[in-house]
Amino acid sequence: MPSRRIERINDLIRSEISDLIAKEIKDPRITGMISVTEVDTSPDMRHAKVFVSIMGSEEERKTVMNTLKHAAGFFRRELGERMTTRRTPELAFELDTSIERGDRIMRLLRDIQQDQNA
């Protein structure tokens, strides 16, 4: 379990990257609804995994993930300017499919309920 300090840093990084994606990134390859769902920073603050959920086709997800991975240096530099920590972690973007799985489960449950009511 991460310390309170790391939890606060995770929340700050998640918030700042979400803000950067929404307001600063003008790349046309970043399409669809993108959500930063979680950040997992190592205790030494050297590395952070940024979990991103992308609503769209499989091809759109691949394009957006590649674009985010290539822009990791930009995100790190911007975080360094916005955060007051001594060290800014290296960022690794990971695709989070939990929202899509949850949506699929909810649709299946609705279908079952409709079948039972029919």
Domain annotation for the chain: domains and CATH numbers: 4-117 (3.30.300.20)
Q: Is 89 exposed, middle or buried (0-12, 13-18, 19+ CB in 10 A)?
A: buried
pLDDT tens digits, one per residue of 36-70: 999 999 999 999 999 999 988 889 999 999 999 99
CA angle 77, 87, 39 (to 5 degrees): 75
Whether the CB-CB separation of 87 and 45 falls below 8 Å is answered with yes
Residue 57: the pLDDT is 86
Dist. CA 79–CA 12, nearest whole Å: 9
Q: What is the pLDDT along the chain (118 residues), one digit of tens a residue?
A: 678 999 999 999 999 999 999 888 888 888 778 999 999 999 999 999 999 999 888 899 999 999 999 999 999 999 999 998 889 999 999 999 887 788 888 888 898 888 888 7
Integer-rounded Cα radius of gyration of the chain: 17
